[in-house]
Amino acid sequence: MKKPDRTAAGDAFAAFSMSVIRLSAHLSAEGDALAKPSGQTSARWQVLAAASHANMSVADIGRILGLARQGVQRIADLLEAEGLVRYEENPAHQRAKLLVLTSEGETTLHDIQTRQAAWADALGAEFRAEDLRATTEVLARVLDGLARPKASRR
Amino acid sequence: MKKPDRTAAGDAFAAFSMSVIRLSAHLSAEGDALAKPSGQTSARWQVLAAASHANMSVADIGRILGLARQGVQRIADLLEAEGLVRYEENPAHQRAKLLVLTSEGETTLHDIQTRQAAWADALGAEFRAEDLRATTEVLARVLDGLARPKASRR
DNA sequence: TACAGAATGACAATATGTTGTCAATATGAA
DNA sequence: TTCATATTGACAACATATTGTCATTCTGTA
């Protein structure tokens, strides 16, 4: 089967895309491993971290994480059932309650973040900080580039 | 809540990780959009592409894509039910049949790849090829760095 | 104020992916 | 050759996430 022709730039972007997706799968697995000793997962950790950063509604967290709000709602309800977060009245919105960490949630998040710090320090030491920063910057620019046309497509 | 201290390198790596995961989610969404007109998804596309690249067993594809073989099996069975792939006898292994694209599968993959080429060309043109290549190289090095300790952890 | 449109949570269906288990099959070392 | 070990597909349970729909609540505008 003949493959459609791509420009050299197109080839570069395609290879870049596949690398990002593949590495992301591995990084998520790492996140799960970091969260597991606390009985949590990568997804729950992200919601805990978002709620810890600022009191937000489920829909707010969905926007920040780039996830559908329904998925975040599912995680948040599970975290509430486990006593790691609670819903607080939102003076600005009757339905959109604010997600707040309980003290148990704070402890759990702190445990995960402690493991994450050791992990990030060890891996960060294997690379030149300048390379990581330059790479992160390109990733951010691509994300911007993606966000623009995407808005007009939906 | 006090956050655990990280080294500067650790901070850089943590920021890098989050960027990768976030961009990956967006790129997967792009892949779904590219595959959708052919009635497919990003995951099915990846399996089709792997099978097209070389005749492999389900477990082989899982390794290449970095996914559990059970997940790939599920997709492959769906693709077989839709007539896009078929299982062929593997002379080297009685159980591990080889995944082969049917002509319908070839056509479907080609349609998706045609759309992908236009997409990659357009986005590739927005960036310096050298930046993309350097970034891809760092991503590959991180993947390597992750693969090494991971083996000893499991 | 009134009301159209957006945002939100609830609910359901579906897609993707991991983990665990089991039996069948390969593989490699003694 | 024999046998412990690894690989593989099948099956099941579960976690994650998207899409779609609906009623409720908010918001901005006329």
At A1-13, the pLDDT tens digits run: 566 777 888 889 9
**Nucleotide C8: nearest residue by CA–C1'?**
A96
How far is the C-alpha of B93 from the C-alpha of B55, rounded, in Å? 13
Tell me the chain A residues in contact with residue B24 when contact means C-beta distances shorter than 8 Å: 20-21, 23-25
| A29 strand C contact, CB < 7 Å | yes
Q: Rounded to the nearest 5°, which phi and psi values hold at B54? A: -165, 150
This prediction has a pTM of: 0.83
A125 Cβ neighbours under 8 A, 6+ residues apart: B7, B9, B10
Q: How far is A107 from chain B (nearest CA, A)?
A: 9
How far is the C-alpha of A23 from the C-alpha of B149, rounded, in Å? 15
Say which residue, B141 or B147, is predicted with more confidence.
B141
Nucleotide at minimal C1' distance from the A62 CA = D17
> Nearest-CA residue of chain A relative to B54?
A1
How many CB atoms lie under 10 A from the CB of residue B64?
A: 16
Q: Which amino acid is at B139?
A: L
Q: Find the Å distance, CA of residue B97 to C1' of nucleotide C24.
A: 14
| B112 strand C contact, CB < 7 Å | no
Task: Give the confidence band of B145 by pLDDT, cuts at 50, 70, 90.
Answer: confident
Which of the residue ranges A90-94, B69-73, B139-143 would you say has the lowest mean pLDDT?
A90-94
Beta strands in A6-150 (DSSP E): 56-57, 85-90, 93-101
pLDDT in tens, A72-111: 999 999 999 999 999 998 777 777 889 999 999 999 999 9
Provide the pLDDT for residue A149: 54
Question: In this structure, are strands B93-101 and A93-101 parallel, antiparallel, or unpaired?
Answer: unpaired
pLDDT in tens, A103-141: 999 999 999 999 999 999 998 999 999 999 999 999 999
**Nucleotide C20: nearest residue by CA–C1'?**
B70
How far is the C-alpha of B120 from the C-alpha of A15, rounded, in Å? 9
Average pLDDT score over residue span B88-115: 88
The proportion of chain B whose per-residue pLDDT surpasses 90, expressed as a percent, equals 55
SS (H, E, C) B1-32: CCCCCCCHHHHHHHHHHHHHHHHHHHHHHHHH
Q: Which of B67, B31, B6 is nearest to A132 (CA)?
A: B6
Interface contact flag, B124 A12, Cβ < 8 Å: yes
**Nucleotide C25: nearest residue by CA–C1'?**
B95
Q: Which amino acid is at B122?
A: A
| B59 strand D contact, CB < 7 Å | yes
Average pLDDT score over residue span B97-123: 92
Which of A67, A132, A146, A153 should be substituted to probe chain B, the one whose Cβ sees the most B Cβ atoms within 10 Å?
A: A132
Task: Give the confidence band of B11 by pLDDT, cuts at 50, 70, 90.
Answer: confident
Nucleotide at minimal C1' distance from the B92 CA = C26
How far is the C-alpha of B63 from the C-alpha of B68, rounded, in Å? 8
pLDDT in tens, A32-58: 889 989 999 999 999 999 999 988 999
How far is the C-alpha of A140 from the C-alpha of A3, rounded, in Å? 30
Average pLDDT score over residue span B100-105: 94
Helices (H), A88-128: 103-124
pLDDT > 50? residue A152? no
| Residue A9 contacts residue B127 (beta carbons within 8 Å) | yes
How far is the C-alpha of B111 from the C-alpha of B37, rounded, in Å? 9
Provide the pLDDT for residue A60: 93
Tell me the chain B residues in contact with residue A134 when contact means C-beta distances shorter than 8 Å: 134-135, 138
B38 Cβ neighbours under 8 A, 6+ residues apart: B108, B111, B112
Interface contact flag, B127 A140, Cβ < 8 Å: no
A104 Cβ neighbours under 8 A, 6+ residues apart: A83, A84
Q: Could you tell me which CATH class the domain A38-148 is placed in? A: mainly alpha
Helices (H), chain B: 8-35, 42-53, 58-65, 69-81, 103-124, 129-153
> Nearest-CA residue of chain A relative to B136?
A16
CATH of domain B32-127: 1.10.10.10
